[in-house]
């Protein structure tokens, strides 16, 4: 039963959207019945839509209801302005009554499905998500053809709605956890959407100063299928070409889904190198400062001489030296992210020359420190997930501060603090360090 609405609905639409450049209202006659077609030309190909409607209504229709049936129109049950903003096409009778939605020919605003942009994938599916939610769901269904895949839709926002899909596998995920997540999102359904971090705060009450992320981001549908099978929950946010996987677990930093394609021995080796990389990234600069400034006596005498020789002429303490070099590296990171592709390689070369040669020759830093910082920077990226590399980058400075004051004891204390943070991090009773009996899921 299609609902007739009052004449004021047309006036309301014109009032809200009539000023917009892409607002389009077009009189049509289909099957001898005059009507008006309303759409936003930036979202709908109005020409193609009008042609399709005309072709659909070739024969004569006796009344409005019969016409709507022939066109396959849908009742308008929600806010008409919202529907137009979502890219739907509205048809109205000339008096402004009898509104119904018809199938739109959408404008191609989304980029085609391609490879991942910010994630390198080795020897696995290279497909990456795009901004369109429907396409992303299709990519996941392509990887996981399971009737157990459950999708819950939650619209967040007050005036402007942002769609969030909650995906889970009913035979793998904890149903109570899924319900908690959906409930937590529903409670904030009228809060304007600002960022993923805001969503994360809704799900987990963590102090603002905690640097640990509560989710993993991935651009790969293949990886999403892997996480869903492990019982995790995946959020797809409209407009984001990434999936958000919750809860985050410490093994996510070191174990990728592609590791399962290797033999256990080689997979173990790769994981061990990642863990070693993370430890080097955190400890290396702090160890240098601790051993040079506070406790040089713990090293072998030959090493002490060698390090002392490399520091001849450096006019400030090792902490200052380390901070200067780390700051230069951080500036290089941030600049390279934003540089146009044509300038990037040149800047890399300039940065390398400045860092590698000139600064040592000018006795601003020692050559050993260059090696250590370079190793630490490279090791930082052995960890999986950009969010975690940021945490490691931050913790490097905290360790540096502790090490400069307390030496190796400071490193122990800094490491203990980090482990305390990680051990106490939970998301709705799911800890970041998961120690559960191994159960085989799908």
Phi, psi of 388 (to 5 degrees): -75, -30
Cβ 315 to other proteins, closest distance in Å? 22
Q: Is 198 in the site for other proteins (CB under 8 A)?
A: no
Cβ 80 to other proteins, closest distance in Å? 51
> Cβ contacts of residue 316 below 8 Å, gap of 6+?
none
Q: Is 309 in the site for other proteins (CB under 8 A)?
A: no
Contact map string, positions 390 to 419, toward other proteins, x by CB under 8 A:
---------------xxxxxxxxx-xxx-x
Q: Is 208 in the site for other proteins (CB under 8 A)?
A: no
Please say whether the beta carbons of 65 and 2 come within 8 A: yes
Cβ 91 to other proteins, closest distance in Å? 59
Looking at the Cβ atoms of 196 and 405, the one nearer to other proteins is 405
Please say whether the beta carbons of 411 and 283 come within 8 A: yes
Interface positions, 314-373, toward other proteins (CB under 8 A): none
Residues 299, 314, 347, 428: which binds other proteins (CB under 8 A)? 299
Residue 338 has a CB neighbour count (10 Å cut-off) of: 7
Residues 2, 70, 314, 422: which binds other proteins (CB under 8 A)? 422
Cβ 280 to other proteins, closest distance in Å? 14
Q: 92 has which bridge partners?
A: 36
Looking at the Cβ atoms of 101 and 388, the one nearer to other proteins is 388
Please say whether the beta carbons of 37 and 50 come within 8 A: yes
Interface positions, 236-295, toward other proteins (CB under 8 A): 294-295
User: Minimal CA–CA distance to 164: which of 184, 145, 144, 149?
Assistant: 184
Tell me the three state secondary structure of residue 124.
Answer: coil
Q: For residues 169 and 235, give the distance between their C-alpha atoms in angstroms, rounded to a whole number.
A: 13
Looking at the Cβ atoms of 42 and 424, the one nearer to other proteins is 424
**DSSP assigned state of 292:** I
Looking at the Cβ atoms of 173 and 290, the one nearer to other proteins is 290
Looking at the Cβ atoms of 339 and 409, the one nearer to other proteins is 409
Looking at the Cβ atoms of 353 and 371, the one nearer to other proteins is 371
Residue 233, token pair as written in the block: 């929950």
Cβ 283 to other proteins, closest distance in Å? 11
Phi, psi of 155 (to 5 degrees): -100, 125
Cβ 178 to other proteins, closest distance in Å? 22
Residues 300, 338, 341, 440: which binds other proteins (CB under 8 A)? 300
Residue 422 has a CB neighbour count (10 Å cut-off) of: 15
Place of tokens 């890399």: 348
Please say whether the beta carbons of 225 and 143 come within 8 A: yes
Looking at the Cβ atoms of 52 and 230, the one nearer to other proteins is 230
Strands 33-40 and 23-30, sheet pairing: antiparallel
Cβ 304 to other proteins, closest distance in Å? 9
Q: For residues 242 and 48, give the distance between their C-alpha atoms in angstroms, rounded to a whole number.
A: 32
Q: For residues 216 and 253, give the distance between their C-alpha atoms in angstroms, rounded to a whole number.
A: 9
Q: Considering Cα of 335, then 340, then 343, then 348, what sign does the dihedral take?
A: positive
Q: Is 194 in the site for other proteins (CB under 8 A)?
A: no
Q: Considering Cα of 274, then 276, then 279, then 285, what sign does the dihedral take?
A: negative
Residues 4, 42, 357, 420: which binds other proteins (CB under 8 A)? 420
Cβ 420 to other proteins, closest distance in Å? 4
Residues 273, 305, 423, 441: which binds other proteins (CB under 8 A)? 423
Cβ 76 to other proteins, closest distance in Å? 51
> Cβ contacts of residue 72 below 8 Å, gap of 6+?
56, 102, 103
Looking at the Cβ atoms of 222 and 274, the one nearer to other proteins is 274
Interface with other proteins: number of residues (CB under 8 A): 31
Residues that bind other proteins (CB under 8 A): 294-295, 297-301, 303, 405-413, 415-417, 419-424, 431, 433, 435-437
């Amino acid at each position: 039963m299609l609902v007739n609405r009052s004449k004021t609905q047309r006036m309301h639409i014109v009032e809200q959207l009539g000023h917009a450049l892409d607002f389009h209202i077009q009189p049509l006659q289909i099957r001898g019945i005059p009507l008006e077609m309303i759409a936003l030309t930036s979202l709908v190909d109005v020409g193609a839509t009008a042609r399709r409607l005309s072709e659909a209504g070739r024969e004569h229709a006796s009344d409005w209801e019969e016409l709507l049936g022939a066109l396959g129109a849908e009742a308008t049950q929600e806010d008409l302005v919202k529907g137009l903003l979502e890219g739907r096409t509205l048809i109205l009778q000339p008096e402004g009554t009898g509104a119904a939605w018809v199938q739109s020919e959408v404008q191609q605003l989304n980029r085609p499905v391609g490879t991942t942009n910010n994630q390198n994938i080795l020897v696995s599916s290279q497909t990456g998500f795009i901004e369109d939610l429907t396409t992303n769901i299709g990519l996941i269904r392509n990887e996981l053809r399971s009737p157990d895949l459950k999708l819950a839709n939650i619209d967040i926002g007050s005036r402007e709605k942002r769609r969030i899909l909650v995906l889970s596998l009913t035979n793998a995920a904890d149903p109570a956890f899924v319900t908690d997540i959906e409930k937590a999102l529903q409670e904030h359904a009228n809060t304007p959407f600002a960022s993923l971090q805001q969503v994360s705060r809704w799900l987990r009450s963590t102090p603002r100063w905690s640097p640990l992320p509560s989710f993993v981001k991935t651009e790969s549908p293949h990886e999403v299928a892997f996480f869903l099978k492990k019982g995790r929950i995946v959020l797809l946010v409209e407009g984001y070409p990434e999936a958000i996987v919750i809860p985050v677990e410490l093994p996510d930093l070191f174990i990728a889904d592609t590791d399962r394609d290797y033999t256990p021995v080689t997979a173990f080796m790769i994981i061990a190198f990642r863990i070693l990389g993370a430890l080097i990234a955190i400890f290396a600069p702090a160890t240098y400062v601790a051993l040079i400034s506070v406790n040089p006596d713990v090293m072998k005498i030959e090493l002490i001489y060698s390090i002392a020789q490399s520091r001849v002429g450096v006019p400030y303490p090792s902490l200052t030296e380390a901070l200067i070099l780390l700051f230069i590296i951080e500036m290089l990171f941030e600049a390279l992210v934003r540089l146009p592709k044509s300038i990037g390689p040149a800047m890399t070369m300039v940065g390398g020359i400045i860092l590698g040669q000139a600064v040592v020759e000018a006795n601003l830093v020692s050559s050993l420190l260059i090696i250590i910082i370079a190793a630490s920077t490279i090791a930082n990226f052995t960890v999986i997930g950009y969010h975690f590399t940021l945490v490691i980058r931050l913790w490097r400075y905290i360790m540096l501060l502790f090490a400069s004051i307390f030496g190796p004891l400071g490193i122990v204390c800094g490491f203990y603090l980090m482990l305390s943070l990680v051990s106490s991090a939970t998301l709705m009773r799911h800890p970041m360090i998961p120690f559960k009996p191994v159960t085989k899921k799908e």
